[in-house]
Amino acid sequence: MGYCSLCGRHHNVGFISTRFAGTDGVSLETAKWADVFEGVGFSCFYFAGELDRKPECSFLVEEAHFQHPEIKDVYRSCFGTRVRGRSVTRKIYELKRKLKDRLYEFIEKFEIDLLVPENALTIPLNIPLGIALTEIISETGMPTIAHHHDFFWERQHFMTNAAWEYLNMAFPPHLPTIEHVVINSSADNQLSLRTGISSTIIPNVMDFENPPPMTRDYQSCGLDPDKEAPAVDDYASDVRQALGVADDEVLILQPTRVVKRKGIEHAIELVHRLGAEAKLIISHASGDEGHDYELRIREYSKLMKVDTYFVSNIINEQRGLTKDGRKIYTLEDVYPHADLVTYPSTLEGFGNAFLEAIYFCRPIVVNTYSIYTMDIKPKGFSVIEMDGYVSDEAVRQTRRVLQDTQYRYKMVKHNYETARKYFSYSVLRKKLKNLITDCTGCPLPQNIN
């Protein structure tokens, strides 16, 4: 049991969400926040409907998951319609009561004195959980840092609904003991305009002070222009062969799920227009948004005569073996082998894949989605841009990046140093420690790096 380096007292932090598991953005950013809390002596505990954290600090409640059958029934009854039945309201309050009781058990069991809801008070995938959490914060006055990743008004399919009173009450709630955190300036503006709530902007980050282990021996960004292939450990040395990419072929990585807003058809068109021997590798599956878009991407790849490989079966958050004995790699194993990363998204809350590409010193093609334009581009990154379509200039720049080693090295080195300045752990530590002080009253030390 640790003690807070800010005030000398012991604190227990309770992270609450629908899921803390896998490689989704909420789970990944929560782990980074937990590192900061633990770094100043706080103990971290987790409440969710799916968990891959240590059992001794986890509190699993199936109804907290957005995929729980009853929660999905509530969701379907509240969105895409303007009237809900009385039985739906009854079910919402029954589930709310159950979740509220379990939340109180979680708080009492782990002696929680600071709550950190991760998107649970932001996007209404689980309405009963949001209501239960709001009531508990109101009843206890417990200090809370609400971390908001995606607001409901940012998704068109939430705007037609029969749950406005719940959205206004709990997504997010306007309570005096809650400090609100958003991940981009647009969310900050909209939250203030729509609710009157002020917030702190803390962007998504990566540990740029510590380059990836397999590249740590090279120059500042982890890449030596005279030794193009970064060092990898023995386990990941055969990634290209496992993905079906020959040594003389270009490996283009699309490190996202297969959903419409990722704009993967633009990556396919780019590969087609390059006219090079190349393979497009898509790392993630379709997920919970259906498979129609994946079918579209498969058909479009055939039409454009582009070798597109869907490899989510051998990429996971941990190494291991598939049921048929094939090696499972992590995304961190794959990045060093990529010659180029494509990120043609039309909509993102921030852009974790962008930071990952920069972290692993890979050149990247980016569609100018709004948050990139507002919060990332002004920092001065050097990337290949496309504005809604694949232009001749984007193709020309991509060819140069792939063919000119020195030009590519200067690009990724500049990007790494830029990201170290604006999106590193030191930025997270500084901003989060200020919030911890506001919530707990802990005096802030002089050295907060």
Question: Does residue 447 fall inside a structural domain?
Answer: no
Question: Does residue 185 fall inside a structural domain?
Answer: yes
* 220 and 335 together in one domain: yes
* 150 and 292 together in one domain: no
**Residue 448 banded pLDDT, cuts 50, 70, 90:** very low
User: In Å, how far from its chain's centre is CA 298?
Assistant: 25
Question: Does residue 366 fall inside a structural domain?
Answer: yes
- The 10s digit of each residue's pLDDT in 104-135 is 999 999 999 999 999 999 999 999 999 999 99
Would you state the pLDDT for residue 109?
97
Question: Does residue 238 fall inside a structural domain?
Answer: yes
Looking up residue 162, the CATH number of its domain turns out to be 3.40.50.2000
- The 10s digit of each residue's pLDDT in 428-444 is 999 998 898 888 776 65
Number of domains the chain contains: 2
Domain that holds residue 417: 213-422
* 219 and 152 together in one domain: no
* 149 and 253 together in one domain: no
**Residue 349 banded pLDDT, cuts 50, 70, 90:** confident
* 98 and 147 together in one domain: yes
Tokens of 394: 């984007």
* 387 and 286 together in one domain: yes
* 174 and 319 together in one domain: no
Instruction: Give every CB contact of residue 189 below 8 A, 6+ residues apart in sequence.
Output: none
Report in angstroms the alpha-carbon separations of 429 from 194, 198, 203, 226, 361.
Answer: 29, 20, 12, 35, 23
* 228 and 244 together in one domain: yes
* 230 and 187 together in one domain: no
Report the candidate in 6, 63, 66 with the shortest Cα–Cα distance to residue 38.
6
* 131 and 33 together in one domain: yes
* 57 and 73 together in one domain: yes
Question: Does residue 95 fall inside a structural domain?
Answer: yes
Report the candidate in 282, 196, 199, 286 with the shortest Cα–Cα distance to residue 244.
282
* 158 and 244 together in one domain: no
Cα within 13 Å of Cα(385), Cβ side: 11
Q: Write the DSSP assignment of 114-129 as a string of letters.
A: EEEEBSTTTSTTSHHH
Would you state the pLDDT for residue 290?
67
